[in-house]
Amino acid sequence: MGPMGPMGPMSITIQSLSKSFGATAVVNDLCLEIGDGEFVVLLGPSGCGKTTTLRMIAGLEAPTAGEILIDSRRVNDLPPQKRDVAMVFQSYALYPHMSVAQNISYPLRVRKIDAAKIQQQVRETAVLLEIEPLLTRRPRELSGGERQRVALARAIVRHPRAFLMDEPLSNLDAKLRLQMRGELKHLQQQLGTTTVYVTHDQAEAMTLGDRVAVMNKGVLQQFAPPLEIYHWPANRFVAEFVGNPGMNFIDGELVGGEFRAGSLNLKLRDDNLPQGGPRKLTLGIRSEHIRVAAAAHDGGIPANVYVTELMGSEVFVVLELNHRRLVARAPGDFRADTGTTVWLDFDLTQAHFFDPESGAALK
C-alpha cells in the first residue's frame, strides 16, 4: 500500500486552480478531469502556465486557489513525497558520482526497500527501457538519449501512480526526439500509468496525448482528443497554435452567402454558412485545403508565389493574396519560381469561421 491507498493508476481532478505571483495570474481558474491511465498533454507557448500547473500537481508549488484531487482525495496539503507521483524534467538531474544502477535505485533506497527487491526492480526497469548494458556506467559516459532513459527508469522504478513530465525530450536532437516520442507512448500504454506531460511542441502533443489541454496566458482554451483539436479548434488561438504550418486566416465579411475580402469572393454552401446575418468575420483554412495549380483555370484565384519551401514529400508554397500571406501544401514535385502567378482553389467544406473580436469559433 502506497501513501495514496491501493496501488494502480489514478485519476487527477483539478478544480478552479489558480496561481498568482504578486499581481500576475500565471494559472487562472483551471479545471481538468484526468482519467485513470490517461495520457494528457498540457500544450501552449512558454509562459502559458503549463509547468506551474504540473508543479502544483506535484506539490512543488502551492496553489493560490482551487483544489487538486488525486483519486477524489484532496492533496493540496500533502507534501510531494506523499502524493505518489514521479516527475521527469527536461534536465535529467542524474547524480554524477553514482552508477546508472545506483541512480535508478535511488528512489527505492530512500524508501528503505529490501536490497534484493531493489536489485530485481532495477533490472526489470532497465530491461524495459533497454539500458541493461549501461547499469555499471556513470552518467558522463552516456549520450543524451541514454541519460533520458535513465531518468525515465528512475521515475518508473518505484511504480508511481502518475508520471508528471516537463518537456522531457526537449534536450534531444530532432531524430532522437522522434524515436523517444514513439517509445514513450509505447511505454505508457504498456504500463498504463496516468501521465501529465508538458510541452510547447504541438507535434509532440498530437502524437502522444489521449487528450490535449491547450493553454494560453494561464487560461485553458480547449481540452479534447488531438484530432478534435486539429479539426474543430475552439478558437483562433488553438487553430493557429496547433498544426504545422498553423491555419491561414483571412479577415472579411459575409454578404448573402459569399465571403468577401478585398478582391476575393468565395461562394459558400448553405450548410457551411455560419449562423447570423451579414457581418465581419475571419475565415480560417488549413494549408492542405488550398490547392495550387500552375495553370489558370475556371474558378481559380490568382496569387503570387512569395517563396516555396521543399519539405521532401511535400512543398509548402507561401503565397501573397490581397497583401496577406497564405501557406498552401502542394505535392513534392510542385515547382514555382518566386514572383510567378499560380491559381488557387479553396476547399470551403473545410473552412472555419471565427469572431474577429473574441476569436471564438462560429458554428
- In terms of domains, do 197 and 218 share one? yes
Q: Look up cell 552516456; give the residue.
A: 142
Q: Are residues 186 and 93 in the same domain?
A: yes
Q: Do 82 and 162 belong to one domain?
A: yes
The answer to whether residues 253 and 228 belong to one domain is no
Picking from 106, 101, 107, the residue whose alpha carbon sits closest to that of residue 138 is 101
Q: Are residues 220 and 90 in the same domain?
A: yes
| 205 and 284 co-located in one domain | no
Residue 363 lies in a domain: no
pLDDT at residue 4, rounded to an integer: 41
Residue 242 lies in a domain: no
- Residue 317 lies in domain: 248-354
Check which CATH number belongs to the domain holding 192 and give it: 3.40.50.300
Q: Are 154 and 146 in contact (CB under 8 A)?
A: no
Tell me the Cα Rg of the chain.
25
In which region does residue 243 sit, left (phi positive, over 0), alpha (psi from -120 to 50) or beta (all else)? left
Residue in 155, 167, 169 with CA at minimum distance from that of residue 48: 167
- Nine cell digits for residue 55: 508543479
Check whether residue 252 and residue 213 sit in a common domain.
Answer: no
**Residue 219, domain member (yes or no):** yes
The C-alpha atoms of residue 218 and residue 227 are separated, in whole angstroms, by 23
Final residue belonging to a domain, choices 237, 269, 302? 237
Determine, yes or no, domain membership for 5.
no
Q: Where among 192, 210, 237 does a domain terminate?
A: 237
Same domain, 300 and 165: no
Strand bridging mode 301-310 / 341-346 = antiparallel
State how many domains the chain has.
2
Question: Is there a domain that residue 325 lies in?
Answer: yes
If asked whether residues 203 and 271 sit together in one domain, one would say: no
Whether residues 210 and 84 fall in one domain: yes
pLDDT for 5: 40
pLDDT for the residue 43: 97
Looking at the fold, whether 288 and 316 belong to one and the same domain comes out as yes
Quote the pLDDT of residue 142. Answer: 93
Question: What's the confidence (pLDDT) of residue 170?
Answer: 86
178 belongs to a structural domain: yes
| Residue 187 and residue 105 share a domain | yes
pLDDT score for 2: 38
237, 270, 301 - which closes a domain: 237
pTM for this predicted structure: 0.90
Quote the DSSP letter at residue 3.
T
Per-residue model confidence as pLDDT tens for the chain (363 residues): 334 444 566 899 999 999 999 989 999 999 999 999 999 999 999 989 999 999 999 999 999 999 999 988 999 999 998 898 999 887 778 999 999 999 999 989 888 889 999 999 999 999 988 899 999 999 999 998 899 899 999 999 988 889 999 998 888 888 888 888 988 999 999 999 999 999 999 999 999 999 999 999 999 999 999 999 999 999 999 999 999 899 999 999 998 888 999 889 999 888 778 876 558 999 999 999 999 999 999 889 999 999 999 999 999 999 999 889 999 999 999 999 999 999 999 999 999 999 999 999 998
Predicted pLDDT at 9 = 65
Q: Would residue 2 count as lying in a domain?
A: no
Short-list 17, 4, 112, 11, CA closest to 56: 17
